[in-house]
Amino acid sequence: MRICLVYDCLFPYTVGGAERWYRSLAERLVAAGHDVTYLTLTQWDPGVQPDLVGVDVRSVGPRMALYTDGGRRRIAPPLRFGLGVLAHLLRHGRRYDVVHTCSFPYFSLLAASLARPLGPRRSRYRLVVDWFEVWSRDYWREYLGRIGGRVGEAVQSLCAALPQHAFCFSELHASRLPGTPAILRGLYAAGRTPLSSAAPPPARPSDPPQPSDPPADPSVAPVVVFAARQIPEKRPIALVGAIATAAASVPGLRGVLFGDGPEHAAVLAEIARTAAPVQAPGMVAEERVAGELASAMCMALPSIREGYGMIVIESAALGVPSIVVRAPDNAAVELVDHGVNGFIAEPDELAAAIVAVHAAGAALRKTTRAWYADHAAELSIDASLGKVLASYGPSGG
């Protein structure tokens, strides 16, 4: 089949769950013998050829800053990307059997839908859409204000109403999407670590990874790891304060907050203000992230908004329990069985959750490893690949 993947970011030039999903999907589709084109914005330096073997990576827009200083998406790049996608599909849409796009940032989805009836002799590709998140009205208003939120919600509703085969990655967001979208759980690709400034690792085996051997007793040097983009929704500043508080009850406790973003300077300032035993080294080589996570007491993701929460799965594969917070827009709670592979805390109870993980000790690590072993097959990317290929049509497999 001839498949066009559409997303304005490409791993490892930008780092996130969606980027890694589309890169892994492209790799797996090529390995299965399909012809794959990847439409994106330019994110690499001049003269650099994107390293995605067997995939025709096409830039349909220039390099642009995707985020404001406050960590929110700028409007110009999605508009420019949407126009680029529209132009490409108007010219080349007839050669594709499937166009598979992310719903966000919406204009590319609108373009892919619009190009079908307007293309030369009408393009007849199947439109497949991944909905990592479906924002609520309250969150739209919080994010863009009363007027801007109404506009954003209207655009999202328009995109949801378009003819498409829809996938969601959580029950939370599927419940907000009209119809009955299929649920994909398998995003985890063996060998990937959450953040990396290095080149992507080589191809992973198709079998889900086996839990690693347990590290040394975590009570010797208890470590809390955070690995995510440092933006307000992820709440890294709150985690600094929680670690500082928990350190009074957990001797030797320290935290390592990996990642960069608009909150990074404020995180460093909070560390200095509270004298918390926390490091925030920014973006580092993936070997360091992998090493810290593998030997961590726990992974903490205090985010109030997640479409999935892949880091929870990556941690569980290492036998490392997770702390997530209960919030209306946080789908990561679906990946944690409270007291089995971690804890679900109220947003203001992070410190207590850290202390609880320490008190649970090796028993919690054992049940975390068992939880992952029980769910590994359904949580691997190969589990989702079959559903994706089936959505492409009779010849998808």
Measure the CA–CA gap between 355 and 243, rounded to whole angstroms. Answer: 9
* Residues 41, 169 share a domain: yes
Of the candidates 364, 317, 359, the residue with the CA atom closest to the CA atom of residue 339: 364
Lowest-confidence pick of 158-167, 339-348, 381-390 = 381-390
Q: Can you say how many angstroms the Cα of residue 32 is from the centroid of all Cα atoms in its chain?
A: 24
Q: Which letter, b or e, does each residue of 63-84 get, where b requires 16 or more Cβ atoms within 10 Å of its Cβ?
A: eeebeeeeeeeeeebbebbbeb
Map residue 98 onto helix, strand or coil.
Answer: strand
- CATH code, 34: 3.40.50.2000
Neighbours of 158 (CB within 10 A): 13
298 beta partners: 224
Residues 233-288: tens digit of each pLDDT: 999 999 999 999 999 999 999 999 999 989 999 999 999 999 999 999 998 888 89
Q: Which letter, b or e, does each residue of 312-351 get, where b requires 16 or more Cβ atoms within 10 Å of its Cβ?
A: bbbbbbbbbbbbbbebebbbbbbbbeeeebbbbbeeebbb
Measure the CA–CA gap between 14 and 27, rounded to whole angstroms. Answer: 17
pLDDT confidence bin for 65, thresholds 50/70/90 = confident
Within a domain: 374: yes
Within a domain: 290: yes
Within a domain: 212: no
State the burial class of residue 373 (Cβ atoms within 10 Å of its Cβ: 0-12, 13-18, 19+): middle
Q: How many domains does the chain have?
A: 2
Residue 202, pLDDT > 70, answer no
Within a domain: 215: no
* Residues 112, 151 share a domain: yes
Q: Is the peptide bond before 12 cis (omega within 30 degrees of 0)?
A: yes
How much is the pLDDT for 383?
86
Residue 74 contacts residue 64 (beta carbons within 8 Å): yes
Tell me 332's DSSP state.
Answer: G
Residue 385 contacts residue 326 (beta carbons within 8 Å): no
* Residues 254, 150 share a domain: no
Tell me 103's DSSP state.
Answer: S
Within a domain: 106: yes
38 beta partners: 5, 57
pLDDT confidence bin for 169, thresholds 50/70/90 = very high
Within a domain: 205: no
Give the percent of the chain with pLDDT over 70: 90
Residue 263 is part of which domain span? 223-379
How much is the pLDDT for 201?
34
Q: Is the peptide bond before 105 cis (omega within 30 degrees of 0)?
A: yes
* Residues 386, 297 share a domain: no
* Residues 180, 233 share a domain: no
